[in-house]
Amino acid sequence: MIFSLAVYSAPYTSQASYTAYQFAKALLGQGHQLHRVFFYQDGVHNATGLAVPPQDEFDLHIAWQTLAKTHNLDLVVCIAAALKRGVIDAREAKRYNKASHNLTDGFSVSGLGQLIEAAAISDRLISFG
């Protein structure tokens, strides 16, 4: 079965992002296909490369990256939601003349159309948060 996930909550405050990660791992482990993970609203904070969680806590940012690398996942961040929350890639940083950028490798920015395309392509779209 083809799945896509939508993540709407920031990591740490809510457990939703972590649950989405676990769900992704579980479905891949059972041989299903994960078409895309789309991060919207506060979910875009999953994609910052500047988060430093305490050493004795689970590092969700690294976990997403590792999972994406292992399974060649499409992790997409909503560009409008990301820009207004200060999650920005090198290209957008240049365009808006910002001093720095922080989008983690393994994530890409795109529009809401990618969420809709995921809903259209997938047998199941599961929302978290």
Residues in the site for other proteins, rule: CB under 8 A? 6, 8, 40-41, 80-81, 111-113, 115-117, 119-122, 125, 127
To the nearest whole angstrom, how small is the minimum distance from the Cβ of residue 112 to other proteins?
4
Comparison of 41 and 102: residue with beta carbon closer to other proteins = 41
To the nearest whole angstrom, how small is the minimum distance from the Cβ of residue 88 to other proteins?
19
Sign of CA dihedral 55, 58, 60, 64: positive
One-letter amino acid at 35 equals: H
Cβ(3)–Cβ(124) below 8 Å: yes
- What is the rounded CA–CA span in Å between residue 77 and residue 37? 8
Comparison of 81 and 88: residue with beta carbon closer to other proteins = 81
Please identify which of the residues 78, 83, 115, 118 carries the catalytic annotation. 78
To the nearest whole angstrom, how small is the minimum distance from the Cβ of residue 3 to other proteins?
12
* 5 labelled catalytic: no
Six token digits for residue 101? 């950028």
- Torsion, CA 37, CA 64, CA 47, CA 24, rounded to 10: 20
- What is the rounded CA–CA span in Å between residue 109 and residue 99? 18
Terminal Cα-to-Cα distance of the chain (whole angstroms): 23
Comparison of 69 and 123: residue with beta carbon closer to other proteins = 123
Comparison of 63 and 79: residue with beta carbon closer to other proteins = 79
To the nearest whole angstrom, how small is the minimum distance from the Cβ of residue 115 to other proteins?
6
Residues marked as catalytic = 78
